[in-house]
Amino acid sequence: MPEIAVNSARFLEDLHRLRSFGAHGTGVVRPAFSQPDIASRQWLAIRMADAGLNPVFDPVGNLFGLPADDSACLLLGSHTDSQPEGGWLDGAFGVIAALEAARASIEAGGPPIAVVSFQDEEGRFGALTGSRVWSGALDLAEADRLTDTQGTSFADARAAMADLCARDFVRADRFLGYVEAHIEQGPVLDLSEDVIGVVEHIVGIRGLRVCFAGQQNHAGTTPMAMRKDAFQGLVAFAERINETLASIVTPATVWTIGHVELKPNAASIVPGLADFSVQWRDADEVRLDRMEEIIRQTAASVAEEYDLKCTHSDYLSVPPTAISGPLRQQLETSAEALAPQRWRRMPSGALHDANNVARLMPVAMLFVPSIGGVSHDFSEDTKEEDLLLGAQVLAQAVASGA
Amino acid sequence: MPEIAVNSARFLEDLHRLRSFGAHGTGVVRPAFSQPDIASRQWLAIRMADAGLNPVFDPVGNLFGLPADDSACLLLGSHTDSQPEGGWLDGAFGVIAALEAARASIEAGGPPIAVVSFQDEEGRFGALTGSRVWSGALDLAEADRLTDTQGTSFADARAAMADLCARDFVRADRFLGYVEAHIEQGPVLDLSEDVIGVVEHIVGIRGLRVCFAGQQNHAGTTPMAMRKDAFQGLVAFAERINETLASIVTPATVWTIGHVELKPNAASIVPGLADFSVQWRDADEVRLDRMEEIIRQTAASVAEEYDLKCTHSDYLSVPPTAISGPLRQQLETSAEALAPQRWRRMPSGALHDANNVARLMPVAMLFVPSIGGVSHDFSEDTKEEDLLLGAQVLAQAVASGA
C-alpha cells in the first residue's frame, strides 16, 4: 500500500475557493443550475483537468473527473449545489476531499480515482435529482417534467448549461464502488468528541401524511363531550405512538411529526381538520414495517375513539441502503490508523447521493463532525483540523484498496 | 298579567323580510355598515315606527325603538349585522322577536317595551362594538381607531350612515333590564330535544397564547434523545391539561387549543417552534383562576422537562356575566307555561351583547335550538315552530313583569 498524503494547503484553498461561488456571509447561495452553481462547476472542471482527470458533464449537469485510461477505479464524491441558503460544507467537503484524494493518489503512485459532483442533491427539483437520474432511479423524461417552487422545469433549468454537457451519461460499469465523505449534519460526533464517523448503514425512510377530520365547532357553545376535535385526535395519536414505538426501536431509530395544519386554525373554534406528517427512519426494513403497522393502527384506533375520519396520502418509502463491507473496512482501518479510538460507527440518518449510487455499485460513507450539529444554515461549520483529518482518512482508505 | 299573543304571520314575515337584506342562498352577507346592513336598519326603523315606537340611531349605528313616553321599561333585542358570510337567524331572530313582543304587548295593553339592534356584534371591528361603546366598555374615540381586515377604520365606516344618526347616545337609565333572545349556536338543545334554553349565566373567557421554543433540527440526523422538539412539548402540554383539568371542571366547562403554528413546519425537520392558543370558559371566576394556574404551571413544567423556552402573549380575559334572578324567573315561568318540561337551564358559552349591557342594567337571555348546532354558516337554521315558541315565551315573560 503506497504512503499517501493529502496536500493540506491545496485542499483548503480549493475548499475556500468553492465557497466563494455564491458566497453569502459564512454560507453559500448556490442552488442547482443557478449562475454560481454553473460557474463553480466550470471552475471544478478546470481543477479536475489540472489534476490529470478528464472532466465530463453528463446531460443533467453531474460533473465527473475521470482517470485518463479506462481502467476500473473507485468513484469518490458528493455534490456542490447548496440549499437555497445553505452552509459551505454540505456536499462541498466531500467533493473537494475526493479531488484531493485523487490528486494525492496520483502523486503517490496509488490507484486511479474518479471524482464526481452530482447535480441538485439539495432538491430544487425534488431530491438528489442528478444521482437519481444517473443511477436509473428516475427516468430523464420524467425528471424533465419536475418543477421548482417558481414553476421552472428541470428541462428548462438544465438547458442553461446544455452547451457544457455531453449527450451521453458516463458508464457506471468501470467503477468498483463509490465512497462519499460528508459532514454529519447532526450532533452525534460533536457531542461524543469523536472526529470520524464510519457509516454502518444509510437508514430507510417512511412517511405518511394523515388527515383527521372531525367537526368544526364554536369553542364556547360546544360542550367537551360533544366535540369531534381533530387536534385532540392528533395529540392522542402523537402520545400513543411515542409510547408504543418506544418498545420496538433502537437508540438510532427516529420518528417525527414535523408538519401540522389545523383548520380553521382559530383560537375560538374547535379544529375540524388536522392534517399532519409522520416520518420514521431506521436501518432495518423489518422494523420500518413494524413501525408502519403501529402508526397506521394507532391512527385508525384514535380516529375511531375520537369519532374522526382518518385518511392518508403522500406515502413515502425509501429503503435502507446497505454499506459495502470491504469499503467500510478500508475506512475503519484508515480511521483507526489516523485517529485511534476517536472514530465511531454510526448510521446515516439523512439521504445522500450514495443511496442512489448503491443501485449501481457498492457504496460507503465517512462523516466529519458538524459543530453544534448545525447544517442547512449559513452557520454550518467544522473545525479545520477535522476537515483535514477527514480528507486524509478518505485518501488513505481508498489508496489501501489498490 | 295581561294575556299576550304574538302575531305569528307578522313575526315570520318580518323575519323573512330581514333575511332578504344581503340574502345569499339560505344565509346572508350583511356585515356591519355594509349597504345591506344600513338598508336593513332603515327598514327596521320603519317597522319600529309602524309599531308605535320612536326609532333612534345612536352615533355608532345602534338602532333603538323607544316607547313614546319616557316611562321606565325593559329593553329587548340583539343585533342585525351578520358574519361576513353568515346564517339568517344569528341576531336577527332576537331583534324581530323583540319587535314582535313590543307590538304584542302594546296590543294587549301590556307594559311598554323598548327594542334595540346593536351594531357590529359580529366583529368587523373587533367584537360587539356597538354594545361595547354604548355600555361604556369602549371609548368612542378608541373605537374610531379600530380597523377591519381591509384597513377601513370604524370612524370611516360609521360615517357611511352618519346622516341617519343622532349626536347623542340613548340614555340607559330609563331601562329596567335587558332581555336577549338568540339561537343557541350549539348542539345542546337540538340533541336534548328541549325547545327553550333559559340562560343561567354567560361564561367568562380566558385565553393565552403560548410559544414553546426548542431547537430546529434535521429529522434524520438528530437522535430522539438529543431533540428539543417544540411540537412534542405541545403534545405533552395538551395531554396533561386534559388530565389535570378533568378533576376540577363541570360538564359545562370548556377548553380549546384551536390555533397551532409550527416552525418551520416541514415533514423532515424537527419543529423548533410551536406557537399555540389555549382558551377556556366557565361561569365561575374562581374556577377560571384555578384553570389558569394549572395551564400556566403545566406549560412551565413541560417546557422545563422538554428543555424548551416558554413565553406567553396576547392574554385575554372576559369575566363571567351574572344573569338577573328576577328576569330569569320570568323567562322560566313563561317557558314552563308554554313548553312544560321541554325547556332547560343552560350556560351561554358564547359572548353576546348582553355581556356589555350587563354593565348598565340586569340582563337575561333565552335560547332556541340550532339545528345540528350549526351557526356562522349559511346553513344555520331553526324549526319555524321553535322560532315562534321562542318569540311567544319572550313576549309572555316580559309582559308578566308589568
ipTM of this predicted structure: 0.88
Which pLDDT score, from 0 to 100, does residue B301 have? 98
pTM of the model: 0.87
Q: What is the pLDDT along chain B (402 residues), one digit of tens a residue?
A: 568 999 999 999 999 999 999 999 899 999 999 999 999 999 999 999 999 999 999 999 999 999 998 899 999 999 999 999 899 999 999 999 999 999 999 999 999 999 999 999 999 998 899 999 999 999 999 999 999 989 999 999 999 999 999 999 999 999 999 999 999 999 999 999 999 999 999 999 999 999 999 999 899 999 999 999 999 999 999 999 999 999 999 999 999 999 999 999 989 899 999 999 999 999 999 999 999 999 999 999 999 999 999 999 878 888 999 999 999 999 999 999 999 999 999 999 999 999 999 999 999 999 999 999 988 889 999 999 999 999 999 999 998 864
Put simply, whether A180 touches B (Cβ < 8 Å) is no
Put simply, whether B123 touches A (Cβ < 8 Å) is no
CA dihedral A134, A138, A141, A142 (to 10 degrees): -150
Chain A residues closer than 8 Å to B209 by CB: 267
Which pLDDT score, from 0 to 100, does residue A258 have? 96
Q: Average pLDDT, stretch A394-401? A: 90
Q: Where are the alpha helices (DSSP H) in A188-248?
A: 188-192, 230-246
pLDDT category of residue A172 using cuts at 50, 70 and 90: very high
Closest partner CB to A265 (pick from B218, B254, B259): B259
How open is the CA angle A250-A370-A82, to the nearest 5 degrees?
Answer: 105
Residue with cell 330581514: B18
Closest partner CB to A267 (pick from B203, B279, B348): B279
Which pLDDT score, from 0 to 100, does residue A191 have? 94
pLDDT at A2 over 70: no
Q: Average pLDDT, stretch A103-120? A: 96
Question: Do B186 and A225 make contact, defined as CB atoms within 8 angstroms?
Answer: no
Rounded to whole angstroms, the Cα distance separating A113 from A53 reads 9
Residue from B242, B248, B250, B256 whose CB has the most chain A CBs within 10 Å, to mutate: B256
Average pLDDT, chain A: 95
Report which of B183, B105, B312, B234 is spatially closest to residue A232, judged by C-alpha positions.
B234
How many residues in chain B? 402
Q: Could you tell me which chain B residue has the CA closest to the CA of A316?
A: B267
Q: Could you tell me which chain B residue has the CA closest to the CA of A267?
A: B258
Grid coordinates representing B289 are: 383562576
Rounded to whole angstroms, the Cα distance separating B187 from B152 reads 35
Which pLDDT score, from 0 to 100, does residue A48 have? 98
Q: Which of residues 44-103 of A touch B (CB under 8 A)?
A: none
Question: Do A218 and B186 make contact, defined as CB atoms within 8 angstroms?
Answer: yes
Q: Which of residues 274-333 of B touch A (CB under 8 A)?
A: 277, 279, 281
Rounded to whole angstroms, the Cα distance separating B384 from A10 reads 87
* pLDDT tens digits along A178-189: 999 999 999 999
Is A16 annotated as ligand-binding? no
Q: Where are the alpha helices (DSSP H) in B314-383?
A: 325-338, 353-357
Put simply, whether A340 touches B (Cβ < 8 Å) is no
pLDDT category of residue A1 using cuts at 50, 70 and 90: low
Which pLDDT score, from 0 to 100, does residue B2 have? 63
Put simply, whether A365 touches B (Cβ < 8 Å) is no
Put simply, whether A372 touches B (Cβ < 8 Å) is no
User: Cβ(B221)–Cβ(A184) under 8 Å?
Assistant: yes
User: Cβ(B100)–Cβ(B108) under 8 Å?
Assistant: no
